[in-house]
């Protein structure tokens, strides 16, 4: 069929004004501030950041127009149906009964989305082994599309991190053993012109003066690559350096490589596509020298899982330096790889770069010796556990074994809620069932809307061939519930785990405590799961594509949950009453409004040019006898709650960071072993309370909460609106902020 000019679905201003008059967003205590800090894009034509209705309009229109039927000659009926669906989505998201992922809130509906559909997806997975670049947007000019290269998985990782996604990567022995021997040591020289604004700081990182160096060296004796001022240029520079170490991809045979970074924009200059400000070339230069050193030290040998993880971490470290981007990474190693399991015990390397990934080990259901893993977990909260056997052969556990239902799974995203094949992304939509119910929504309709939203994302333009192929094959989506603890208490009056009975391990016969679940809750989440399955089936038939391989999940949430003021994913609230601290660049205009409203703030003790703002918080149901927090709920109940959701709701996986008290440490190994046939991924972390200065969360008493709350005299949203209109500017002066310097956009 011939493609014609694509039709566009848009929401009218009249409709949006009507919704704004009739619906009030369910902002949590941190909701509006978190939104403005994180997701409101700057509008140059209006000289301000977006308002919430503008963000939702952009997000919904960006998504609804991914429906592939609009690429051809859609009938008036199709356009009318999609317009009505867009209106429902706007009402739902504007009211905060549900939201798409943070990636969509930031990128959907922008020019960047149209150019790089990858940016709509939260996270990705790649296996560290030689792979071909294929027909991708990034292919080193010295390679053919079908030539395997050791650089390819690192290029994929670097590219996706630079586009704002997180990346899980596998360094299991099965993958690492496929890497070739490092053949060459490479003499790396990095040049920068003295005309560059970034000259001084880049030279400090080891770069050479371009003009002087070129005058002193003969061109025939080295390979030269001039980096363009693009994301692709950074990726290709790293790929070129890595591939020079291997004879199969070192086409010229030269071991003298020169990289010219003179064209890269200086620190603080605008990034026009993704948004935010540039880091300058210095972090890239540091990264290239560090990775080159790792490879040089392994000349004549193969890279190990630890060294490959180090390379991934150094890439993540460089991406973080760009300020606007995060660097969520998960390294997945083998369960018997002792060096990998213990690699974070090297404190110097931990603080230098190994902090950049969470580390987990891949197991199957036959693995039952968790003592070494448990001992490491008790020390520093790592490694986590990823059961690839369950992911390949099970959807929801209650539906029984379905051999090969997800045969290509090799790993997971950084938070562990989606099991993924090589090159595949997670694709998330989040429903707050308690809030949606309060707002009068039928939950089956809410989950249907979320399913269709996520399905359309799979029709984005993807930059990498490996991703295009696996996405079209799987159409994997992840419809998540969040605020689960709040909803369960609202809906059923108690927590989902009603107690424990006696049972036996099916293999060893060892006595275990079996959780007893509220069966009404099990029935309810099963109904909602079936609504997602039915919605996907019907929409897939409409679009003439395969049904999604898997559909549901529980994501950790975090930032998005703060918008609606819900508990995060399946997690229990950190405390009934607490101080939540959020960090802002010290030139963020929100600080003026927060100060005027009465919030306490002080300079961050860890990071320069950063302010730490305190928000007093009360959890819903904080005074309910059934309320439990992360500081009071037992490790056994947390394991059981995660298992409940894996059993009845999620056919992907359930992200959960189980917190434990010191005295519960001895239980970890037995609990990991008990739930090895149910839970697909698990991580644990000691409960810290407020053990360090300016902790992100600090439990407080109810009396302290009331005192702190009384200090807040004004609504920050109202203050910000007055500020933006130039009213009463003298009221909004922050003491001690006279020396504000250039800042950066926050993590998205």
pLDDT tens figures, 220-255:
789 999 998 888 999 999 999 999 999 999 999 999
pLDDT tens digits, residue range 619-630?
A: 999 999 999 999
Is residue 426 annotated as part of the catalytic site, yes or no? no
User: Edge-to-edge, what's the strand order for the sheet holding 552-553?
Assistant: 98-100, 428-431, 478-481, 552-553
If residue 223 lies in a helix (H) or strand (E), which one and from where to where? strand 223-226
Put simply, whether the predicted model's pTM sits higher than 0.75 gets the answer yes
Sheet holding 384-387, edge to edge: 123-127, 166-170, 329-334, 358-363, 384-387, 681-686, 657-660
pLDDT at 739: 24
What value does the mean pLDDT take over residues 66-76? 91
pLDDT, position 346: 87
Neighbour-count burial for 84-123, b at 16+ CB within 10 Å, e otherwise: ebbbbbbbbbbbbbbbbbbbbbbbbbbebbeebbbbbbbb
Q: Detail the DSSP E strand segments found in 26-172.
A: 42-43, 48-49, 98-100, 123-127, 131-132, 148-149, 166-170
pLDDT the model gives residue 149? 98
Residue 688: closest CA among 655, 662, 656: 662
Convert the pLDDT of each residue in 251-292 to its tens digit.
999 999 999 999 887 665 555 554 555 577 888 999 999 999
Query: Which of 328, 316, 330, 242 has the alpha carbon at shortest distance from 283?
Result: 316
Task: Reply yes or no: is the peptide bond before residue 383 cis, omega within 30 of 0.
Answer: yes
Lowest-pLDDT choice from 159-168, 181-190, 634-643: 159-168
Q: In the prediction, which pLDDT does 382 show?
A: 87
pLDDT of residue 267: 65
Hey, is 321 helix, strand or coil? coil
Active site residue 445: no
Q: What are the strands of the beta sheet with 256-260, ordered from one edge?
A: 208-209, 187-192, 256-260, 223-226
Compute the distance between CA of residue 418 and CA of residue 426 in angstroms, rounded to an integer: 6
pLDDT by residue (tens digit) across 393-430?
999 999 999 999 999 999 999 999 999 999 999 999 99
Judged against a pLDDT cut of 80, whether residue 512 lies above it is answered with yes
In angstroms, the CA 594 to CA 615 distance is 10
Whether residue 324 contacts residue 301, with contact meaning beta carbons closer than 8 Å, is answered with no
Q: Which of 15, 22, 30 is nearest to 61 (CA)?
A: 15
Residue 254 tokens read as 């030269």
Q: Is it the case that residue 365 has pLDDT exceeding 60?
A: yes
Spell out a b/e string for 179-215, using b for 16 or more CB atoms within 10 Å of the CB, else e: bbebebbbebbbbbbeebebbebbbebebbebeebbe
Question: Is 184 in contact with 251 (CB distance < 8 Å)?
Answer: no
Give residue 539's Cα distance to chain centre: 27
Residue 353: DSSP 8-state: T
Tokens of 81: 């149906």
Backbone angle region of 451, left / alpha / beta, with phi > 0 → left and psi within -120 to 50 → alpha: alpha
- Kindly give, in sequence order, each residue whose CB lies less than 8 Å from that of residue 444, ignoring residues fewer than 6 positions away: 527, 528, 531
**How do residues 461-493 score in pLDDT, each as one tens digit?**
999 999 999 999 999 999 999 999 999 999 999
Tell me: the pLDDT tens digits for 575-595? 999 999 988 888 888 899 999
- 590 CB-side CA count, 13 A: 27
Cα separation, 575 vs 696, in Å, equals 12
Counted residue by residue, the chain has a size of 748
Percent of the chain with pLDDT over 70: 93
Q: Phi/psi class of residue 442: alpha, beta or left (left: φ > 0; alpha: ψ in -120 to 50)?
A: beta
CA 48 to chain CA centroid, Å, is 27
pLDDT at 740: 23
pLDDT of residue 735: 26
Which of 43-52, 312-321, 529-538, 569-578 is the most confident on average? 529-538
CB atoms inside a 10 Å sphere around CB 562: 24
Please identify which of the residues 417, 430, 614, 664 carries the catalytic annotation.
417
CA angle 686/313/139 to nearest 5° reads 145
Residue 443 or residue 558, greater confidence: 443
Q: Which range is least confidently modeled, 125-139, 299-313, 356-370?
A: 356-370
**DSSP code of 277?**
B
Q: Report the distance separating Cα 461 and Cα 117, nearest Å.
A: 5
pLDDT at 324 over 50: no
Is the distance from CB of 280 to CB of 744 less than 8 angstroms?
A: no
**Marked catalytic residue, from 308, 415, 612, 745:** 415
Question: pLDDT tens digits, residue range 285-316?
Answer: 999 999 999 999 999 999 999 999 999 999 99
Nearest to 689 by CA among 698, 677, 680: 698
Kindly report the average pLDDT of the chain as a whole number.
Answer: 90
In 255-388, which ranges are E strands?
A: 256-260, 329-334, 358-363, 384-387
């Amino acid at each position: 069929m011939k493609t014609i000019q694509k039709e566009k679905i848009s929401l009218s201003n009249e409709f949006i004004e009507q919704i704004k008059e009739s619906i009030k967003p369910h902002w949590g205590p941190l909701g509006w501030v978190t939104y403005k800090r994180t997701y409101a894009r700057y509008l140059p034509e209006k000289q301000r950041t977006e308002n919430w209705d503008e963000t939702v309009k952009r997000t919904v229109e960006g998504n609804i127009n991914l429906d592939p039927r609009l690429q051809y000659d859609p009938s008036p009926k199709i356009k009318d149906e999609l317009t009505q669906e867009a209106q429902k989505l706007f009402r739902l998201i504007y009211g905060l009964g549900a939201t798409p992922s943070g990636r969509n809130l930031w990128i959907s509906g922008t020019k960047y989305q149209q150019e790089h559909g990858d940016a709509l997806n939260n996270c990705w997975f790649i296996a560290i082994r030689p792979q071909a670049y294929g027909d991708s947007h990034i292919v080193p000019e010295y390679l053919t599309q079908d030539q395997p290269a050791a650089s390819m998985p690192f290029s994929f990782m670097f590219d996706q991190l630079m586009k704002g996604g997180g990346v899980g990567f596998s360094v299991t022995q099965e993958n690492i053993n496929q890497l070739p021997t490092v053949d060459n040591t490479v003499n790396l020289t990095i040049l920068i012109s003295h005309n560059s604004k970034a000259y001084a700081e880049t030279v400090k990182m080891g770069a050479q003066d371009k003009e002087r160096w070129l005058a002193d060296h003969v061109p025939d004796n080295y390979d030269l690559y001039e980096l363009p001022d693009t994301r692709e240029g950074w990726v290709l520079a790293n790929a070129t350096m890595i591939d020079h170490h291997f004879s199969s991809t070192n086409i010229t045979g030269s071991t003298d490589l020169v990289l010219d970074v003179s064209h890269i924009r200086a620190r603080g200059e605008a990034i026009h596509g993704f948004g935010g400000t540039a880091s300058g070339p210095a972090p890239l230069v540091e990264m290239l020298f560090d990775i080159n050193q790792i490879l040089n030290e392994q000349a004549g040998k193969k890279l190990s899982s630890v060294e490959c993880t180090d390379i991934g971490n150094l890439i993540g470290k460089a991406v973080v330096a760009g300020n606007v981007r995060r660097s969520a990474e998960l390294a997945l190693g083998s369960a018997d790889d002792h060096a990998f399991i213990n690699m974070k015990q090297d404190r110097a390397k931990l603080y230098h770069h190994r902090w950049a990934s969470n580390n987990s080990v891949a197991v199957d259901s036959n693995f039952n010796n968790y003592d070494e893993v448990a001992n490491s977990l008790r020390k520093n909260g790592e490694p986590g556990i990823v059961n690839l056997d369950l992911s390949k052969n099970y959807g929801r556990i209650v539906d029984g074994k379905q051999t090969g239902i997800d045969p290509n799974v090799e790993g997971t995203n950084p938070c562990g809620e989606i099991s993924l094949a090589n090159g595949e992304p997670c694709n998330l939509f989040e429903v707050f069932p308690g809030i949606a119910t309060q707002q009068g929504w039928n939950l089956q309709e809410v989950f249907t809307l979320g399913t269709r939203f996520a399905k359309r994302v799979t029709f984005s333009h993807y930059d990498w061939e490996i991703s295009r192929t696996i996405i079209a094959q799987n159409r994997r989506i992840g419809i998540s519930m969040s605020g689960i603890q709040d909803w369960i208490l609202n809906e059923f009056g108690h927590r989902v785990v009603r107690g424990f009975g006696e049972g036996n391990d099916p293999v060893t016969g060892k006595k275990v405590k079996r959780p007893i679940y509220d069966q009404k809750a099990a029935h309810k989440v099963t109904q909602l799961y079936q609504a997602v399955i039915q919605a996907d089936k019907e929409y897939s038939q409409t679009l003439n594509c395969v049904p999604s391989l898997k559909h549901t999940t529980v994501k950790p949430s975090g930032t998005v949950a703060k918008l609606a003021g819900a508990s995060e994913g399946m997690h229990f609230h950190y405390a009934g009453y607490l101080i939540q601290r959020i960090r802002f660049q010290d030139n963020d205009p929100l600080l003026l409004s927060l100060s005027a409203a009465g919030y306490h703030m002080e300079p961050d003790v860890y990071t320069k040019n950063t302010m730490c703002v305190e928000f007093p918080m009360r959890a819903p149901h904080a005074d309910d006898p059934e309320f439990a927090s992360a500081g009071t709920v037992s490790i056994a109940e947390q394991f059981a709650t995660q298992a409940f959701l894996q059993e009845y709701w999620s056919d992907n996986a359930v992200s959960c960071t189980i917190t434990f008290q010191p005295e519960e440490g001895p239980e970890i190994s037995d609990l990991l072993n008990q739930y090895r046939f149910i839970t697909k991924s698990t991580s644990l972390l000691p409960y810290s309370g407020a053990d360090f200065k300016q902790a992100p969360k600090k439990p407080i008493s109810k009396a302290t909460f009331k005192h702190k709350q009384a200090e807040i005299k004004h609504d920050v949203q109202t203050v910000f609106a007055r500020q933006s209109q130039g009213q009463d500017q003298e009221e909004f002066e922050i003491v001690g902020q006279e020396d504000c310097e250039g800042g950066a956009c926050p993590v998205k």
